[in-house]
Amino acid sequence: MTLSFGGLAALTELSFAVPRGIVKAVIGPNGAGKTTLFNLITGFLTPDRGQIIFRGEAIQGRPAYAVAMRGIARTFQLVQLFDHMTVLENVMVGRHRLTRAGLFGSILRLPAMRREEAAIEARAWEALEFVGLAGRAHQPAGFLPLGLKRLLEIARALASEPRLLLLDEPASGLDQIESDRLGEMILALRSQGLTILLVEHDMSLTMEVAEEIVVLNYGQLLAEGPPRAIQKHPEVIAAYLGSDWQG
Amino acid sequence: MNLRRRLLNPWLIFTLGVALVRLSVANDYYFTLLNIIGINTLLVVGLNLLLGYAGQISLGHAAFFGLGAYTSGILTATYGVSPWLALPAGLVVAGVAAVLVGVPALKLRGYYLAMATLGFGIIVYIVFNQAQVLTGGPSGLSGISSLSLFGFPLDSPERLFLLIWPVLGVILLLSANLVDSRLGRALRALHDSEAAAQSLGVNTSRAKLLVFVWSALYAALAGSLYAHTLKFIEPTTFNFMFSIKLVTMVVVGGMASVWGSLLGAAVLTILPELLTVFHDYEVLIFGAILMVVIIFLPRGLVRGILDLWEFRRYKKEGGTFPVS
């Protein structure tokens, strides 16, 4: 995969690739353009110039749902759950892209639709088990505490069996225990071969799970490489990590 | 426990309730009132799919109701077409109108649909009044024929009851199925977060258009049944005030509640009949109810109270109350 943009005020002439099966992290100070980058990839924004190539296809400028249909799932920096739906139903929406029941199949409860519905529910339970939320399946999602909301968002994204998963600051607002658990989950997904692009401020988490890191500063690529190299990169230390930062 | 759950099945209760009402009521006035409640419930369920589930506001549902009623009325009274052909014609007219209004309005986010349907409702109302050759103008359209079933004319309120309520039962069942399906979940999802729904592959504009047209079809069906029930229609029935009344019924019965639609329609159809005060201050009272419920219980009266009760159960587990 290659991701390249240019011309956008928030991101200038940025170009990098996310190889299949890799956990790649994007770091950088606030305002460096990390969330803008996510919104570009997922079709919520359109680059002025440049291309976003996913599996050999240019996807820039396509509507967000069409990008999602191709297998790019994401979470949001400010959690975006379906508050009035149950935890289970939230994850079931995640199956949308892989299922096809339409209006008439739905209202008439045709047999094919019932089978599909049962399969949706089964897969949703698996995703809930994975993040440890099965016990809360029937609660309205809006009633969950923040830490669990973040996990639910991940479960929902995973239910769509993404080819690329974008996590936008998944650890923000989590306590240490929750964030450790999140790290284990990302590592588990990594070992399953899922391609993940991650934006995260928690450095110890990022260094633990990421195989490659991209550093952004003022919308430009500052450095790119494995965590060890990034930690030693003088410009990165000066711009972002601070001189007192210890790996 | 299992038996109890089976007996508490809402569909069983609905069927038994309708049968019981049919056997115990023996007065044409009550049958007419029940038929109007049934027709209003059809309208409210449709609007609830749009407003309560998908979160899109239509202030012009009276117009779709009117298009169904006038298509049926004009075709049967003026052109002698069979009511069973006029009814689908009404659906087509309302459906096409809904597509024409919905396509541009739903591409935009926010309250464009409310504005577009408001304008549409006013235009349609003016047409009903002005197109006198077709509609009979302000003095109304009479001579609408009765529906008949297998050569058996449904010409009394009592007989119409046997058509309207079973039809309503089927529509309620289809609606409940819709809500609890892939498409229904997509609609509820885009209500809570359009961005998140899109990020999971939901084509939100298309889903909104689909439910808007679908709910207009409910209104047109209700309109046809209304025309054949009263055999006389006039424009004032389909004015802006009636659209507001429908929104109030949805809100009182409960947003996102199929059964709440029946409750809201029943309460707000019966109340004006019981209280003569209501007639003079109808607009004021409906406005006040709408305002109070929207401010304090944005998800509707019944739904809102249920939410508060549910929240108490989850509060001890450290949850937060969602901002509605």
Q: Would A40 be classed as within a structural domain? A: yes
- Report the distance separating Cα B238 and Cα B250, nearest Å: 17
pLDDT for B148 equals 85
Q: Can you tell me the ipTM of this complex?
A: 0.92
Q: Would A51 be classed as within a structural domain? A: yes
The answer to whether residue B156 neighbours chain A at the CB level (below 8 Å) is no
Domain identity same for A101 and A62: no
Question: Cβ contacts (< 8 Å) between B188 and chain A: which residues?
Answer: 82, 84-85, 89
pLDDT for A247 equals 41
Domain identity same for A147 and A95: yes
Nearest-neighbour CA in chain A from B125: distance (Å) = 31
Nearest-neighbour CA in chain A from B275: distance (Å) = 36
The answer to whether residue B316 neighbours chain A at the CB level (below 8 Å) is no
Q: Cβ B182–A156 below 8 Å, yes or no?
A: no
**Last residue of a domain, which of A136, A155, A174?**
A155
For residue B201, give its domain range.
10-242
pLDDT for B230 equals 93
Whether residue B239 has pLDDT greater than 50? yes
For A166, the closest chain B residue by CA position comes to B199
Nearest-neighbour CA in chain B from A42: distance (Å) = 7
Q: Would A79 be classed as within a structural domain? A: no
pLDDT for B272 equals 84
Domain identity same for A231 and A183: yes
Q: Would A78 be classed as within a structural domain? A: no
Q: What are the 10-residue block averages of pLDDT along chain A, 247 residues in total?
A: 60 87 91 88 90 92 96 96 96 96 90 94 97 94 93 97 96 91 95 95 92 89 91 80 50
Unique residue bearing structure tokens 């110039």:
A49
Domain identity same for A53 and A107: no
Domain identity same for A169 and A136: no
pLDDT for A246 equals 47
Strand A23-27 and strand A212-217: the pairing is: parallel
Mutating which of A59, A84, A156 best tests the B interface, going by the most B Cβ atoms within 10 A?
A84
Tell me whether residue A154 is exposed, middle or buried, using C-beta atoms within 10 angstroms of its C-beta: 0 to 12, 13 to 18, 19 or more.
buried
Short-list B135, B150, B133, B37, CA closest to B84: B150
The answer to whether residue B201 neighbours chain A at the CB level (below 8 Å) is yes
3-state SS assignment for residue A123: helix
- The DSSP symbol for A57 reads E
Q: Cβ B256–A84 below 8 Å, yes or no?
A: yes
Q: Would B228 be classed as within a structural domain? A: yes
Q: Would B247 be classed as within a structural domain? A: no
Q: Would A180 be classed as within a structural domain? A: yes
Q: Would A56 be classed as within a structural domain? A: yes
Task: Please say whether the beta carbons of B87 and B79 come within 8 A.
Answer: no
Mean pLDDT across chain B? 89
What pLDDT digit, counting tens, does each position of B266-317 carry? Answer: 999 998 888 777 677 877 888 888 888 888 877 777 777 777 777 777 666 5
The residues facing B53 across adjacent strands are none
What pLDDT digit, counting tens, does each position of B256-269 carry? Answer: 889 989 999 999 99
Tokens of A178: 């929750």
Domain identity same for A203 and A180: yes
Mutating which of A39, A62, A82 best tests the B interface, going by the most B Cβ atoms within 10 A?
A82
What pLDDT digit, counting tens, does each position of A112-157 carry? Answer: 999 999 999 999 999 999 999 999 999 999 989 999 999 999 999 9
Give the number of C-alpha atoms closer than 13 A to the C-alpha of residue B285, restricted to the C-beta side. 12
In this structure, is the dihedral angle defined by the CA atoms of residues B189, A67, A194 and A101, taken in order, positive or negative?
Answer: positive
Task: Provide the residue count of chain A.
Answer: 247
Domain identity same for A187 and A135: no
For B181, the closest chain A residue by CA position comes to A106
- Report the distance separating Cα A73 and Cα A166, nearest Å: 6
Q: Cβ A85–B189 below 8 Å, yes or no?
A: yes
Listed in sequence order, the DSSP H helices in chain A are 34-41, 64-69, 87-93, 103-108, 111-131, 146-159, 176-191, 203-209, 227-232, 234-236
Task: Please say whether the beta carbons of A213 and A230 come within 8 A.
Answer: yes
B19 vs B323 pLDDT, higher one: B19
Average pLDDT over residues B199-216: 96
Domain identity same for A183 and A246: yes
Q: Would A77 be classed as within a structural domain? A: no
The answer to whether residue B181 neighbours chain A at the CB level (below 8 Å) is yes
The answer to whether residue B183 neighbours chain A at the CB level (below 8 Å) is yes
Q: How far is CA B161 from the centre of its chain?
A: 18
B259 Cβ contact partners less than 8 Å away, ≥ 6 residues apart:
B10, B172
Instruction: Tell me the angle at which helices A176-191 and A111-131 cross, rounded to the nearest 10 degrees.
Output: 120
Identify the band that residue B11 occupies on the pLDDT scale cut at 50, 70 and 90: confident
Q: Would B273 be classed as within a structural domain? A: no
For residue A12, give its domain range.
1-71+162-247
In order of A62, A76, A129, B180, the CA distances from A38 in angstroms are 14, 9, 27, 32
In this structure, is the dihedral angle defined by the CA atoms of residues A64, A69, A74 and A76, taken in order, positive or negative?
Answer: positive
* Number of separate domains in chain B: 1
Domain identity same for A173 and A215: yes
Question: Cβ contacts (< 8 Å) between B184 and chain A: which residues?
Answer: 106
For B256, the closest chain A residue by CA position comes to A84
Of A80, A113, A143, the CB nearest to B319: A143
Of A43, A69, A82, the CB nearest to B193: A82
Whether residue B323 has pLDDT greater than 50? no
Q: Would B288 be classed as within a structural domain? A: no
* Number of separate domains in chain A: 2
For residue B130, count other CB atoms closer than 10 A to its CB: 13
The answer to whether residue B196 neighbours chain A at the CB level (below 8 Å) is yes
Q: Cβ A145–B192 below 8 Å, yes or no?
A: no
**Last residue of a domain, which of A95, A130, A155?**
A155
What pLDDT digit, counting tens, does each position of B152-175 carry? Answer: 888 899 999 999 999 999 999 999
**Last residue of a domain, which of A102, A137, A155?**
A155
Q: Cβ A84–B299 below 8 Å, yes or no?
A: yes
Cα-Cα-Cα-Cα dihedral of A107, A111, A113, A119, to 10°? 140
Q: Would B155 be classed as within a structural domain? A: yes
Give the number of C-alpha atoms closer than 13 A to the C-alpha of residue B2, restricted to the C-beta side. 0
Task: Please say whether the beta carbons of B49 and B260 come within 8 A.
Answer: no
Tokens of A50: 């440049």
Question: Cβ contacts (< 8 Å) between B323 and chain A: which residues?
Answer: 83
Question: Cβ contacts (< 8 Å) between B198 and chain A: which residues?
Answer: 43-44, 63-65, 68
Q: Would A111 be classed as within a structural domain? A: yes
The answer to whether residue B320 neighbours chain A at the CB level (below 8 Å) is yes
Q: Would B278 be classed as within a structural domain? A: no
Q: Cβ B193–A92 below 8 Å, yes or no?
A: no
Domain identity same for A171 and A126: no
CB pairs under 8 A between A and B: 137
What pLDDT digit, counting tens, does each position of B179-194 carry? Answer: 999 999 999 999 999 9
In order of B39, B201, B224, the CA distances from B86 in angstroms are 17, 39, 8
Domain identity same for A88 and A149: yes
Short-list B44, B231, B195, B225, CA closest to A38: B195
